[in-house]
């Protein structure tokens, strides 16, 4: 068996929830490409947020995005004006977003900030937007008084995992997430994951999707 060349958001990968953490100090500088700029959320930006997330395959439908918005931000929109960031392209379109927020489930009692819903529109990926966006939001967190940030993600977003690792985030590994970090090691071979044994091919694949497009080899 050989692995497919996976998309950057791919449900053929076995799903495991993952968390990473980073201190909000020694943040590198990474400017946006020329012509792009940052903007905070303004009332009425909800659908732009959903559109970006749906384009990035975070949601399968507008309705799913609306449910997520209500769950995470409903009733707290007044906070988003200094927490939710968009990247605006040279034509004035909102093409990427991320939010300096918190664990809305109340499971994390550390007081750390949580980096929420990082996404770049599908047609704008590969333009060098995600790392400047993330670092910009991390600086917002620091300005708000936080000392550390966490990011929840998953194995199916393995490319995003690599981006976070590149920016100095490190795994919060436990027994439940260990298989996931082994999968990310197998797919990225990131040097920060050297302590994890790479997963074998059968451990990487989602058994419910294993029959789909498994002829080509992943990098």
- Give pTM, 2 decimals: 0.91
Q: Token digits for 215?
A: 């002829």
Rg over CA atoms, the chain: 17
Cα–Cα dist 191/212, whole Å = 30
Per-residue pLDDT 10s for the chain (219 aa) are 578 899 988 999 999 999 999 999 999 999 999 999 999 999 999 999 999 999 999 999 999 999 999 999 999 999 999 999 999 999 999 999 999 999 998 889 999 999 999 999 999 999 999 999 999 999 999 999 999 999 999 999 999 999 999 999 999 999 999 999 999 999 999 999 999 999 999 999 998 876 665 444 344
**DSSP annotation string for 40-81:** E--TT-HHHHHHHHHHTTS-SSHHHHHHHHHHHHTT-GGGGG
> 170-171 and 17-23 as β-strands: parallel, antiparallel, unpaired?
antiparallel
């Amino acid at each position: 068996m050989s692995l497919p060349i996976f998309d950057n958001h791919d449900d053929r990968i076995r799903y495991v929830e993952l968390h990473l953490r980073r201190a909000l100090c020694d943040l590198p500088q990474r400017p946006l490409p020329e012509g792009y700029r940052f903007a905070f959320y303004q009332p009425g930006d909800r659908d732009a947020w959903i559109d970006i997330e749906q384009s990035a395959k975070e949601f399968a439908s507008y309705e799913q995005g609306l449910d997520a918005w209500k769950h995470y931000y409903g009733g707290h929109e007044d906070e988003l004006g200094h927490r939710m960031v968009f990247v605006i392209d040279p034509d004035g379109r909102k093409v990427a977003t991320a939010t300096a927020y918190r664990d809305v489930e109340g499971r994390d009692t550390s007081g750390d900030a949580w980096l929420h819903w990082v996404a770049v529109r599908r047609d704008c990926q590969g333009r060098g937007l995600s790392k400047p966006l993330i670092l910009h939001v991390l600086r917002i967190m620091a300005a708000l008084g936080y000392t550390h940030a966490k990011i929840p993600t998953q194995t199916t977003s393995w490319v995003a995992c690599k981006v976070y690792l590149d920016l100095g985030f490190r795994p919060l590994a436990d027994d439940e997430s260990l298989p996931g970090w082994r999968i990310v090691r197998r797919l990225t071979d990131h040097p920060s994951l050297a302590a994890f044994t790479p997963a074998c091919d059968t451990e990487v694949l989602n058994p419910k999707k294993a029959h789909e497009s498994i002829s080509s080899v992943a990098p």
